[in-house]
A and B are shown apart, each in its own frame.
Chain A
Amino acid sequence: MPDSENFIEKKWSFNDFNYPVPEHAKSFGYTVGGVTVVGFVLLVISGIIMAFFITPTVDQAHASVLELSSNPWGFWLRSFHRWLAEAAIFLIVLHISRIIFTGSYRGSRKLNWFFGIGLLLITFGFLFSGTAVKWDQEGYEAYQHAVESIELLPVIGEPTAEFIQGTTAVMRMFATHTLVLPLLLLIFLIPHLVLMKLNGLSPLPGRKVTRTITFYDHVKKIVAWSIAIYGFISFLAIQFPSEIFPGPYAGVEMTKPPWIFLVLYQVEDWFGIQSLLIVPLLIIIGLILIPYIDSKKDDYSITRKIVVWSYIIIMAVFITFIINVAITPPGQHLGM
């Protein structure tokens, strides 16, 4: 074997990644985080291709998106990108649910939980800015909601709203979507993965690890689930293409946001635009507090039960909101 190969074998051996992990690493719950990372890779690839065809200006963005969609492959690519984004949110919710149900935020995993919260916020930022960039009626309404709620922020509200308004609005959303957020994603994702490696895979509550598989086997499961899930998403993207709405027109509200934002849509219906700031803030505070409320290693403690049941009840309420908004006609929120 040549010296260079020896060096690579010593320094970069793939066998280093073939360490043992608990057998439950092959269950879907423990692969969903990895499947989400694969989704992000696909989002980046499809996004890079689309970036060559989108003109991020207020007068040309919408037309360029329609132009891209007039090609059958472009039509699928744009729809796939949107479906992937919504699927990523869904997978993240599943990932968070698994972590809460298994108490995987306790002890040394607390810091990684915080990086995860950061990644959740970044994903929401991606979904919002991506929706705004296409600059159709849906994108414009999402953007206007953001502007009106940001204006309510003390001190930084007015200048921030001013910064994102005007003829450069789409360009700045595009820069956020393609430069700022991907950079933040890397900043949060790399430590998230490194800490996962350092802490090891979390155990199943109330059970001791008796059998192990190799990390390769775990990765194989992630790849298999990814092929199945994103193959299905690709099918949905062409069978039920993501719509490009007309417009945009000011003073008209005829669209509803992506499904996850329907939770906020419901509270905005009841409490006004300020709830777009208050409710996400309360959710973030709640998520940050979870490892402090349920900090004991005991899998059967009362605080653990409180956290799990509170999460289940809140999720049930959110799902009810989503269904309720989905079946009712869009309402007027802006300028009220």
Chain B
Amino acid sequence: MLNKISYAAMIFLFFSASAIMPHGDEKHKEKPEKVSTQMQNEKEHSQMNMEGEHAHSDSLEQAEENEAMEKDFAQISEDVEKSTVPTVIKALSLAAFIAGLAFLYLPRKRKENSNA
């Protein structure tokens, strides 16, 4: 009985996913907009010059920004390394690792609870 109920539940679950019609925001229904495009449009909007023209960023600009963001993460990593927290975490982690292995492999008094 449990098997039958479980089979029925599984079939229902799999078919229910395809039965649900996805519903997006109505404003995006006519023309799906790529998120990157939306983000780009927002950026261009903020870069509008005095004549109201958009200042289009080219691939070189993108590459420069790209590099700047990389530096951000690299900078974060450097800052974190300077603090004592990573050392504490490493010590605790290795302690846990060794404790786990010790529990598994250190010989202990064998319990006589085996049966046939």
Write out the residue numbers on chain A whose beta carbons fall within 8 Å of the beta carbon of B96: 227-228, 230-231, 234
Cβ contacts B1-41/A at 8 Å (1 or 0 each)? 01100110010010000100111110011001111111110
A227 vs B79: C-alpha distance in the bound complex, in angstroms? 29
Closest to A156 in B: B18
Across the interface, do A246 and B65 meet the contact criterion of CB distance under 8 Å?
yes
A220 vs B86: C-alpha distance in the bound complex, in angstroms? 29
Main secondary structure of the interface of A (DSSP, over half): helix
How many positions in chain B have a CB within 8 Å of any CB in the partner chain? 58
Across the interface, do B32 and A162 meet the contact criterion of CB distance under 8 Å?
yes
Across the interface, do A20 and B95 meet the contact criterion of CB distance under 8 Å?
no
A195 vs B29: C-alpha distance in the bound complex, in angstroms? 44
A269 vs B90: C-alpha distance in the bound complex, in angstroms? 39
Do A213 and B80 form a contact, CB below 8 Å, given A66-B73, A165-B33, A248-B36?
A: no
Write out the residue numbers on chain A whose beta carbons fall within 8 Å of the beta carbon of B86: 72, 76, 238
Taking the complex as formed, is A12 at the interface, i.e. its CB lies under 8 A from any CB of chain B?
no
Q: Nearest chain A CB to B2's CB is how many angstroms away? A: 8
* Binding-face segment, A94-102, A166-174, A306-314: A166-174
Do A75 and B80 form a contact, CB below 8 Å, given A238-B90, A243-B73, A247-B66?
A: yes
Closest to B27 in A: A166
A111 vs B76: C-alpha distance in the bound complex, in angstroms? 48
Q: Nearest chain A CB to B90's CB is how many angstroms away? A: 6
Do A187 and B65 form a contact, CB below 8 Å, given A166-B32, A235-B94?
A: no
Across the interface, do B13 and A163 meet the contact criterion of CB distance under 8 Å?
no
Inter-chain contact total with CB atoms closer than 8 Å: 160
Residue from the list A160, A162, A213 in contact with B28, Cβ < 8 A: A162
Across the interface, do A166 and B24 meet the contact criterion of CB distance under 8 Å?
yes
Cβ contacts A249-264/B at 8 Å (1 or 0 each)? 1111000000000000
Taking the complex as formed, is B89 at the interface, i.e. its CB lies under 8 A from any CB of chain A?
yes
Q: Nearest chain B CB to A36's CB is how many angstroms away? A: 15
Residue from the list A162, A231, A252 in contact with B99, Cβ < 8 A: A231
Question: What range describes how many residues of A lie at the interface?
Answer: 35 or more
Across the interface, do B100 and A225 meet the contact criterion of CB distance under 8 Å?
yes
Taking the complex as formed, is A244 at the interface, i.e. its CB lies under 8 A from any CB of chain B?
yes
Write out the residue numbers on chain A whose beta carbons fall within 8 Å of the beta carbon of B99: 227-228, 231
Taking the complex as formed, is B104 at the interface, i.e. its CB lies under 8 A from any CB of chain A?
yes
A70 vs B38: C-alpha distance in the bound complex, in angstroms? 27
Give the residues from 147 to 164 in chain A that come closer than 8 angstroms, CB to CB, to chain B.
156, 159-163
Across the interface, do B100 and A228 meet the contact criterion of CB distance under 8 Å?
yes
Do A75 and B76 form a contact, CB below 8 Å, given A166-B35, A169-B35, A250-B36?
A: yes
Across the interface, do B104 and A225 meet the contact criterion of CB distance under 8 Å?
yes
Give the residue among B36, B85, B98 with the most A Cβ atoms within 10 A: B36
Do A166 and B28 form a contact, CB below 8 Å, given A231-B100, A232-B93?
A: yes
Q: Nearest chain A CB to B29's CB is how many angstroms away? A: 7
Write out the residue numbers on chain B whose beta carbons fall within 8 Å of the beta carbon of A232: 93, 97
Closest to A209 in B: B116
